[in-house]
Structure 1
Amino acid sequence: MNQSNSDPTIQFLGATKTVTGSKTLLKVFGKKILVDCGLFQGPKAIRELNWQEFKEAESIDAVILTHAHIDHSGYLPKLVKEGFKGPIYCSAGTFDLCQIMLMDSAHLQEEDAKYANKSRYSKHYRALPLYETVDAQRALELFVPLEMNDWTDIFPMISVRLLRAGHILGSSFVQIKINRDYNPITVTFSGDIGNGRQNVIKGPVSLVETDYLVMEGTYGDRVQSKLDPSETLAQCIRKVAKNKGVLVIPSFAVGRTQEILYLLRKLESENKIPEIPVYLDSPMAVEATEIYMRHKDELKLDLEKGGFIEPLCSHSYKTVRSADDSMLLCMKDGPMVVVSAAGMLTGGRVLHHLKARLPKPENVVLFVGWQAEETKGRLLQQGLPKIRIHHQEVDIEAEIVSIDSLSAHGDTEDILSWIKGIEKAPHKVFLNHGEESALNTLKYRLEHELNFSVVVPSFEQEFVLS
């Protein structure tokens, strides 16, 4: 690899030809800057990468986060556990969300280790958590929130700015400017780019210029449904209202839940659905919704009528915080709506609701997000007559419905449209955060439609930015 001492390098340590574990290491002027620090998620072979020693941990000088999702932030406590002591730069919204998400992730790591020891399924004598709550707390002490849109000098001749990405609250794309005496360069990291079609979060701002671009390609090979999800949601509510049933909506706590709450309130205010109780039964979702309410500047809601709380709260909106109250809710008669986590039924309170509601035909389960293979959510979508929950076989008599037009990611057309805003072609575009087929499709389009130079990096591959 031919380079001068002042030439930066970029190395891809995660989210290469997959969608989790985002970590990209920029080395410049003797400094090491890690952009995103996410957990690998999904199949066991992928998750085991989290347990590999991160050899660079102590020598990393700073971390910059694009947003709070665990596949972008969830490795931070492990990084701190392995010796990282530098600043973690992000937006104010990302910092607020990370305070609940990292602590929750640490709690889950501890619970998984306890369960492994209790069930004796670990191959080790004593299973240990990947990290603990104390590691998450230490990581949070290192956060340095930055103002959006402003350049900040983080090291001599190295500055950074965050610009709105429109994915979830606080999400940003990151620009790092390397101010060399000759040929200064800018490197842009897209993070996860939104599509501008969400009701709650404003869309991404334009990218005007960059010398190098690290671009996500989650949906680089597909066009999302543009159908209005409101009518499907309204039909489900009208059914349970008529039959005195329960609509269970498994939902991701951050982003998707707030969209659903907004749609429920909007349908109610337009008299398209009857007023029935809406319960938000997820402590993290309750906290996340409160955080959304504190960051009015990032939202595109009408804040004039009745104060800010109105757009996310239907007339009969109630929050459920304690586990005891959640169990009581499982026994309560309808009609009502229950929004609960986890969105893919990988755990959480929603499983108790499903165990209680699936056997009854007057109830409806509405999926509002993609369900990964082998998850209980995917199994329900496949129309099985029974499903196993908490070691019990549960009959499925409830109606199963799905909405696939609520994604917070841009699709291939959104990505192309965003990139076309760049006034001068970058020297190189690196595609990550996507399955290989999606990245290759996006690569072909960028090369043939925009005449860009594009590469799909492999794990740990390093490039010189000259």
Structure 2
Amino acid sequence: MASTQDTLAVGISRPTQRQRTRTGRPAITFLGGAGTVTGSKFLVEACPSGVLVDCGLFQGLAPLRRRNWQTPPLDLDRLDAVVLAHAHLDPCGYLPVLARAGWHGPVYATPGTVRLAAIVLADSAHLLMEEATHANAAGWSKHRPALPFYDERDAAKALRLLRPVDFGVPIELAEGISVEFGRAGHILGSAWAHLWLTGGGISRSLVASGDLGRPVHRVLRPPQPRPDCDALLLESTYGGRDHHDEHATERLAELVCRTIGRGGSVLIPAFAVDRTEVILVELAKLARAGAIPDVPVFVDSPMALASLRVYRQALQEGWPEIRPEFADAVDPFDPGHLAELHSVEESMSVNDPRMPSIIISASGMATGGRVLHHLTHLLPDRRHTILIVGFAAAGTRARQLAAGAREIKIHGRYVPVRADVEVLDAFSAYADASELVAWATAAPTPDATYLVHGEPDGAARLADRRREDHDWCAVLPRDGERVLV
């Protein structure tokens, strides 16, 4: 949110003469996702064309969030297309700003990403507007008035720019730039992008990994192998560590039983797209095996419920990303007493549950959404458990809870943390360090690998691993840096 003056300042700069000048050789400029796990924006140029790979929102620490309001170094008159890796806010959450500034697309993505982006961007705009209204009513924002970063009209404009492209189908984006999508296995529709660049008589190729999924994903097939390329943009979200998969299902069952046994509820802040589905699949398996008590499971997120419908459709129609074992399965997302909460009144009713329950609510990093109201009510009570099941960026409430915070600030007030806080990263949809290395090394060594979409320590550790174990040229690009491909 920002003040009126801040909002009027938001826009896309028209180019200076220096910005208009392009060398003939293909190049990449890192406009986000460098030194941070959010805000992914990679400008790929091949004279005379320019394409943006991802158009993401900065999240987490306040200095990062403020960057959303800065005028980005983008020349809309020379931006020919946008390519999206998947439908989380990091790769697509900035699109409404481009649309508001008058850019008319196109934006290319897989069919699954197009379907889910329509849900994600509409929900994001709704939450931003709702948060601004709440801030003005309660007076907890420093801005007078507090305004949403973008609204539902901006999101609708962005959605009209989306163009679906199937996996494995090469298309020309602009003169000298083509792309083909491969399965990334992170969420439904997620893709890595293989770009061919021709400029100044030079032909080069680039692979942007997007966010890679895990070979052991509960619903989706593993990522397709990386193709040969001259340059690689490799995500590094979990570049510094591996997941602890051992006994993860047993640990989930144990903490549910322990919490329910003392009369408490389990609150799971979960990304609305994919993480909610993964957790439901795991809970359903445990419920069918009699490994957890027979209690209500509430899904409290309009976006999660909308994405769940897309996942169910994908299973029914046999989309190519779905694991084959789900072909003839009964609803794998139903633990037995699944309750979908749609209205605000339904959501508020589970803040003081009459009986123990499991609540799955967005957002996964507890940066906004209905989960904040649940945290406000459940955190002060020692009977309850808060379960963190995915990556949480620095500066987010989920990261603070995972790090052992004894109080967190929600809507301008501090809330004491007395409930148990548990972390189970085995349910993450992100590839860990070993899985990233295995995917990256399955093809010939590129001339250079750029570690992006990761916090500095994790990206640096993955870069060191690439250099020491495989003698790769592994680079941590600086924000705003431009390199030749």
- State the secondary structure of the residue aligned to 2:50: strand
1:169 lines up with 2:188 in the alignment: yes
User: Counterpart amino acid of 2:93?
Assistant: G
1:444 lines up with 2:464 in the alignment: yes
What is the distance in 2 between the residues matched to 1:380 and 1:451? 38
The answer on whether the counterparts of 2:46 and 2:176 sit within 8 Å (CA) in structure 1 is no
Q: How does the TM-score come out when normalised to structure 2? A: 0.87
- State the secondary structure of the residue aligned to 2:422: strand
Match of 1:348 in 2: 369
Residues 26-105 of structure 1: matches in 2 within 5 Å? 26-54=44-72, 55-105=74-124
Match of 1:302 in 2: 325
Residues 201-220 of structure 1: matches in 2 within 5 Å? 201-220=220-239
User: Counterpart amino acid of 1:79?
Assistant: L
Aligned length: 461
What is the distance in 1 between the residues matched to 2:404 and 2:129? 34
- State the secondary structure of the residue aligned to 2:156: helix
1:412 Cα deviation from its structure 2 partner: 1.9
Runs of 5+ consecutive residues of structure 1 not aligned to the other structure: none
What is the distance in 2 between the residues matched to 1:418 and 1:177? 20
The answer on whether the counterparts of 1:58 and 1:82 sit within 8 Å (CA) in structure 2 is no
- State the secondary structure of the residue aligned to 1:405: helix
User: Counterpart amino acid of 2:174?
Assistant: F
The answer on whether the counterparts of 1:196 and 1:202 sit within 8 Å (CA) in structure 2 is yes
Match of 1:246 in 2: 265
User: Counterpart amino acid of 1:278?
Assistant: V
What is the distance in 1 between the residues matched to 2:407 and 2:265? 19
* Per-residue CA distance 1:347-404 (angstroms, 9 max, x = gap): 3323333444445444333222344555444554566666665566766554333223
User: Counterpart amino acid of 2:215?
Assistant: G
1:457 lines up with 2:457 in the alignment: no
Percentage identity across aligned positions? Answer: 36
Match of 2:41 in 1: 23
Q: Out of 106, 130, 133, which is 2:149 matched to?
A: 130
Aligned CA distance change for structure 1 residues 385 and 76 (closer, same or farther; 3 Å) = closer
What is the distance in 2 between the residues matched to 1:51 and 1:393? 27
Aligned CA distance change for structure 1 residues 27 and 379 (closer, same or farther; 3 Å) = closer
- State the secondary structure of the residue aligned to 2:426: coil
What is the distance in 2 between the residues matched to 1:371 and 1:89? 28
Aligned CA distance change for structure 1 residues 433 and 124 (closer, same or farther; 3 Å) = same
What is the distance in 1 between the residues matched to 2:372 and 2:140? 22
Residues 368-447 of structure 1: matches in 2 within 5 Å? 368-372=389-393, 375-381=396-402, 397-422=418-443, 424-447=444-467
* Per-residue CA distance 1:59-80 (angstroms, 9 max, x = gap): 3110000111111111100011
Aligned CA distance change for structure 1 residues 218 and 364 (closer, same or farther; 3 Å) = closer
What is the distance in 1 between the residues matched to 2:368 and 2:148? 17
What is the distance in 1 between the residues matched to 2:138 and 2:300? 28
Larger deviation, residues 409-418 vs 234-243: 234-243
Runs of 5+ consecutive residues of structure 2 not aligned to the other structure: 1-17
Residues 130-169 of structure 1: matches in 2 within 5 Å? 130-169=149-188
What is the distance in 2 between the residues matched to 1:49 and 1:385? 29
- State the secondary structure of the residue aligned to 1:68: coil
1:250 Cα deviation from its structure 2 partner: 2.0
Aligned CA distance change for structure 1 residues 62 and 328 (closer, same or farther; 3 Å) = same
- State the secondary structure of the residue aligned to 1:345: coil
Q: Out of 244, 247, 256, which is 1:225 matched to?
A: 244
1:367 lines up with 2:385 in the alignment: no
User: Counterpart amino acid of 1:141?
Assistant: R
1:26 Cα deviation from its structure 2 partner: 1.0
1:94 Cα deviation from its structure 2 partner: 0.9
* Per-residue CA distance 1:259-313 (angstroms, 9 max, x = gap): 1100000111222223322111111111111111222322226335554xx1111
Larger deviation, residues 374-383 vs 240-249: 374-383
What is the distance in 1 between the residues matched to 2:375 and 2:141? 29
Aligned CA distance change for structure 1 residues 202 and 269 (closer, same or farther; 3 Å) = same
What is the distance in 1 between the residues matched to 2:85 and 2:383? 43
Aligned CA distance change for structure 1 residues 450 and 302 (closer, same or farther; 3 Å) = same
Q: How does the TM-score come out when normalised to structure 1? A: 0.90
Q: What root-mean-square deviation, in Å, do the aligned CA atoms of Structure 1 and Structure 2 show? A: 2.7
Q: Out of 25, 41, 61, which is 1:7 matched to?
A: 25
Aligned CA distance change for structure 1 residues 379 and 87 (closer, same or farther; 3 Å) = closer
Aligned CA distance change for structure 1 residues 49 and 358 (closer, same or farther; 3 Å) = closer
